[in-house]
Structure 1
Amino acid sequence: MTRSTNFSKIARLATAVVALSGSLGFAGPNEDYQEHCASCHGEDRLGGSGPALIPETLRKIRGPNLAEVILNGRVATQMPGFSEYLDQGGADAIVELLQTPIEVLPPWGEEEINASRDMNPDYIPVDAPVWDADPMNITVVVETGDHHVSVLDGDTFEVLDRFPTPFAVHGGPKYDPTGRYLFIMSRDGWVQKYDIYALQTVGQVRAGLNSRNIAMSSDGKWLAVASYLPNMLTILSTEDLTVAKVQMVKGKDGTPSRVAAVYQVPPRESFVLALKDVPEIWEIFYGKNPPQFGFAHDWRTEGLAHTDIPFPVRKITLPDYLDDFFFDQTYEYIMGASRDGAEGTGGQVIDLVIGHKIADLDLPGMPHLSSGTTWERNGTTVMATPHMRGGVVSVIDMSTWETIKLIEAKGPGFFVRSHENSKYIWADVFFGPNRDLMHVIDKQSLEIVKTLQPAVGKTVAHVEFTKDGRYALVSVWEDDGAVIIYDAETLEEVRRLPMRKPSGKYNVWNKITFSEGTSH
């Protein structure tokens, strides 16, 4: 049964609801869904820039009920409210539609993924870059306003190329270890490979139907794709985008789970999965000798087809759900929290080597740990994380796991960023009326030294640095937005590049060397 057939059944159900509710004065749920919801969540409810809206993905929603979310939006997300267009009855009818199962989800496994591969027949590899710039100082800018990526020379800020991407890029692009190839993932599961040297798209493949993010293996051979729908992790060969492994995800008790995120752990030659629906994390090994846990053996031999590689899985039980991570610089410790948890529930520290929680974290709001940053202060390493609820930035001593300061901000934030050569961290105020502000915080005094207002009344967010840390690039996160380049020492604006909602910026050197100031 096709997705369009399933959608037709939903439409017939919606028509029946319209007939029953016409006297109440609101449009049918199918019509309302198509008008207000489909552009983000997909015409078939299987996801787009927003998540899939089917019972399988809605069952774990905690906090406000669905009708309230539809009418009033959801805090700390990009979900707006529609009370201007819908009354309570209209919202309730949409909820009934969303809670109606799609009778048969489209199959999406190895066969379907490989069949979706679309390699560029005009792609011609080159021996050296076709441009004259420092290959290690290239920065790519994701422009979600019209679904493009711009490739910037990090010294001159010249745009070397601007190319189309799949719809709604999400989760941060990844570079291979050489910095030559860029891998981009969209919320509807498409993965695109782009050759920065040649300024050409190599190809694309749909690794899932509703996906969250990607992670690159340390050897550059494998790309892991985390998906909400189906509940699976897809591992692709970076060479040709063919499937190496489709790992369906169920907890130890058999409960299916969405994969909230996947991260690479270079020293252990593994990927770590954050699971949305079961209190576990998974570690999947791609290296030659997985460490113990009952499956250590030398299975990587010359000539072994990637379809035969086992990618063994280690499942670690946790005391609570974790779907947002931050690793220390050694990658032994995971700082984690649940974004769906109640305000003030805190987080936990997991020792990945022994597979147990070793400490609790005092986190007063909803932390965005994966956007955190670390630096050296008073002989120890500290970490800062913003909160998507509550206007504070938490600073944590990573030797004791104690909070050493809560820096008062002008509102909830989404990203903090720094660079090892900078004396400041930059923290946005992404949510609320002060979304046009950017705090600059001294790493040693932990005081705000300056609050910038780069674009009055517009959202400013997500800072990235050039290779040497000399310049900080700030996004004006609007359709008629810009990337603003600041002198990272004087905090003065240097240049402004018009962009279409530049949601994120990613410098080659900072990413492939795992700069302490950026997310990994």
Structure 2
Amino acid sequence: MLALVMVMLLGLSACQSPATVNELRGTGDLGLVIERASGSVLVVETTGNSVLGRVEGLGDLSHASVVYSRDGRYGYVFGRDGGLTKVDLLTRSITERVMQSGNSIGGAISQDGRYVAVSNYEPGGVKVFDSETLALVADVPATYTNAEGETAQSKTVGLVDAPGNQFVFSLFDAGEIWTLDMAADSHEITRYDAGDAPYDGLITPDGRYYIAGLFGEDGLSMLDLWEPQAGVTDILPGYGKGEQKLPVYKMPHLEGWAIADGRAFVPAVGHHQVLVADMNDWSLMDRIDVQGQPVFVMASPDNRQIWVSFAHPDNDVIQVIDARTRKIIHTLEPGKAVLHMEFTPRGERVWVSARDSNRVTVYDTRTLDPVATLSAENPSGIFFTSRAHSLGL
């Protein structure tokens, strides 16, 4: 009898063990916050708006981004120093790490989750790795013929995943857009002429249009992936024609662009404006004046609000635009040097990082009131695991 009681007590104790409870959790409400100065990331959860732990040793994260495995357990962190690090969010540890170049600018994970591709500045090109082991699968040097007639290697930017297990990216120096087909062993590459100096790229949520922003001219270059034989077309050409272009303190990011009510909201380069395009014909239909040079222009998941962050020296605020009226409805002050924002999967909250205030502020998107503040060491990018199920993120 005594033995039976002891077994029952041990079983009850095991069921109540905090360690057991903490180990049994899903990944759907998890995410990573980049701590750019210390080469570390915070593992966070959005249900209780809390930090679960820190993972260190990720190198130079001054311009870092993250993509996720299909199950949301692993985050692939792209460091500015060329490091590619696979982080386990459940054990809060590094499982694999490779130094794949001298200077990288981001990456993507393939539609089937098998491949992770990295976009490089130095020496240029794109490298593709096995997502399980980080073994090299393909090396795409992104070569082109320069103005002197010599073969050169271009910086690559705007790397995204696309349907059909493709990667799409832009060549800054060559003025081209390339597609890389990972569905076949041949890894076929197709090249398209684009505008002058594409600096970033995005793909529409349905995976049809790849759009590259242009630093060398006003406008954007668009490739219709449903009809790629038509080549690249120009959209929003000359949007700043006749206007004085301002010094560009930070290039806008297109990855988190906004689509709402059949319209695309994109940041203008060198202007204090958010451009509004009609997605039926990609014509310019409006220009919204904002308080600085926009960096991120992001739509809430319900598409009712457009949230805008800004470059230095106006980077201490966020402006919120009503998508229907296209009017600014609120200006928030999350802290010094706002760098990034991320909506929770269903959009009831948005997390905003303020690098020089060493904090992340969580806002209620209905009331626009802050509901939580988290301490972080020079935080920048915020990436939730819901990205695992979206194209181009």
In the other structure, the counterpart of 1:163 is 55
The unaligned stretches of length 5 or more in structure 2 are 1-19
Change (3 A) 1:319 1:183: closer
Q: CA deviation at 1:487?
A: 0.6
Task: Give the secondary structure class of the aligned counterpart of 1:219.
Answer: coil
1:440 maps to which of 307, 320, 323: 320
Partner of 2:212: 336
143 and 355 in structure 1: CA distance in 2 versus 1, 3 angstrom threshold: farther
Cα distance in 1 for residues equivalent to 2:289 and 2:25: 41
Structure with the larger helix share: 1
TM-score calculated relative to the size of structure 2: 0.84
1:348 corresponding residue in structure 2: 221
Residue equivalent to 1:234: 127
Which of 129, 142, 145 in structure 1 is aligned with 2:37? Answer: 145
The answer to whether 1:373 aligns with 2:252 is: no
Counterpart of 1:412?
A: 293
Any idea what SS the aligned residue of 2:144 has?
coil
Indicate whether 1:278 and 2:174 are aligned: yes
TM-score (norm 1): 0.65
Provide the C-alpha distance between the structure 2 equivalents of 1:335 and 1:260, rounded to a whole number of angstroms. 14
* Structure 2 match to 1:470: 348
Q: In structure 2, do the counterparts of structure 1 residues 191 and 323 end up closer, same or farther at CA, with 3 Å as the change threshold? A: same
Residue 349 of structure 1 aligns with an amino acid whose one-letter code is: M
**172 and 257 in structure 1: CA distance in 2 versus 1, 3 angstrom threshold:** same
Give, as a single letter, the amino acid of the residue that structure 2 aligns with 1:327. I
> What letter is aligned with 2:59?
P
Q: Which has the higher contact order (CA 8 A, sep 6+)?
A: 2
Residue 107 of structure 2 is matched in structure 1 by 214
Q: CA deviation at 1:228?
A: 1.9
The 3 A distance-change label for structure 1 pair 229 and 461 is closer
> Relative to 1, partners in 2 of residues 1:421 and 1:332: Cα closer, same or farther, differing over 3 Å?
closer
Following superposition, the deviation at residue 412 of structure 1 comes to 0.8
Alpha-carbon distance between aligned partners in 1 of 2:199 and 2:318, rounded to the nearest angstrom: 26
Query: Counterpart of 2:366?
Result: 489
Equivalenced residues, count: 359
The letter for the 1-side match of 2:338 is V
CA distance in 1 between counterparts of 2:174 and 2:195 reads 10
Separation in structure 2 between the aligned mates of residue 268 and residue 335 of structure 1, nearest angstrom: 18
What is the CA-CA distance between 1:219 and the residue it aligns to?
Answer: 1.1
Who is 1:29 aligned against? none
Q: Distance in 1 between matches of 2:265 and 2:301?
A: 14
Q: Of residues 376, 383, 392 in structure 2, which corresponds to 1:499? A: 376
Cα 1:258–1:319 shift into 2, 3 Å: closer
How big is the shift at 1:374?
3.1
2:187 aligned residue: 311
Is contact 1:349-1:357 (8 Å) kept?
A: yes
**Taking structure 1 as reference, are residues 166 and 321 closer, same or farther at Cα in structure 2, changes over 3 Å only?**
same
CA RMSD in angstroms comes to 2.3
Q: Confirm whether residue 181 of structure 1 aligns to residue 74 of structure 2.
A: yes
Quote the offset at 1:197 in angstroms. 2.3
Uncovered stretches (5+) of structure 1, i.e. residues with no partner? 1-127, 289-308
How far does residue 391 in structure 1 lie from its aligned partner after superposition?
Answer: 1.2
Report percent identity of matched pairs.
24
Matches within 5 A, 1:180-199: 180-199=73-92
